[in-house]
């Protein structure tokens, strides 16, 4: 009888130790998962903050670019508009170098990019910038002649038309960035609930 009590006590102690060890391991796993989630959340927050700032700066640069492009007409190229165009292009170039796009490690915005045909839109924008450059080269290469004024006016008119098409093409990029910002804001509102 005594030996069965000792055996029962020993078995009870062993079972208690096993259960305690299992519970401790489970609590440790839960704690580790929670810690990892916390670290990922902090990292995502840092990256999202930087991305939001970058996206807002890009939107501002695109809007400045649009204003500059629309500020010229066939009779007059506003020097301020030209300055706006150059300043916006410089800002966009700086943003593209500064932004490492780390946000894409955590988020997939391909549905938004596809919705607004983002890649095609950017190809069009790049081709239009190249066209403007080609037109500027042709304008610079005009030799004085009896037709030079007419040629200049035709090329200038084509450049202004290209400016206006370019201004419209930029809308897709603005829509993409605006929708990405909205998605990120909404996700963080959900986290804060």
Helices 2-70 and 148-192, interaxial angle, to 10°? Answer: 160
Maximal CA-CA distance, the chain = 126
Flag whether pLDDT at 80 surpasses 80: no
d(CA 57, CA 97): 13
d(CA 42, CA 119): 31
- All residues at 6 or more sequence positions from 152 whose CB lies less than 8 Å from its CB, including other chains: 139, 142
The percentage of the chain sitting over the pLDDT mark of 70, rounded to a whole number, equals 90
User: According to the model, what pLDDT value does residue 79 have?
Assistant: 67
For the chain, give every domain's residue range: 51-192
- All residues at 6 or more sequence positions from 115 whose CB lies less than 8 Å from its CB, including other chains: 179
Residue 73: strand pairing partners = 76
The percentage of the chain sitting over the pLDDT mark of 90, rounded to a whole number, equals 20
d(CA 166, CA 173): 11
At 52, the pLDDT band (50, 70, 90 cuts) reads confident
Q: What digits encode the pLDDT tens for the residues 101-138?
A: 678 788 889 999 999 998 898 899 889 989 988 998 99
Mean pLDDT over all residues of the chain?
A: 84
Flag whether pLDDT at 44 surpasses 60: yes
Q: Is the pTM of this model over 0.75?
A: no
């Amino acid at each position: 009888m005594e030996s069965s009590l000792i055996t029962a006590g020993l078995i009870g102690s062993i079972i208690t130790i096993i259960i305690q060890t299992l519970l401790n391991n489970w609590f440790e796993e839960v704690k580790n998962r929670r810690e990892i989630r916390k670290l990922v959340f902090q990292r995502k927050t840092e990256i999202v903050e930087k991305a939001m700032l970058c996206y807002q700066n890009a939107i501002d640069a695109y809007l400045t670019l649009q204003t500059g492009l629309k500020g010229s007409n066939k009779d007059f190229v506003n020097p301020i508009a030209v300055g706006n165009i150059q300043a916006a292009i410089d800002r966009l170039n700086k943003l593209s170098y500064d932004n490492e796009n780390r946000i894409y490690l955590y988020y997939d915005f391909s549905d938004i990019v596809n919705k607004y045909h983002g890649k095609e839109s950017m190809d069009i924008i790049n081709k239009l910038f190249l066209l403007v450059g080609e037109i500027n080269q042709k304008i610079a290469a005009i030799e004085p002649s009896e037709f030079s004024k007419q040629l200049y006016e035709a090329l200038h008119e084509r450049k202004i038309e290209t400016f206006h098409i370019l201004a419209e093409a930029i809308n897709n990029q603005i829509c993409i960035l605006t929708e990405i910002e909205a998605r990120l804001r909404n996700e963080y509102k959900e986290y804060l609930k």
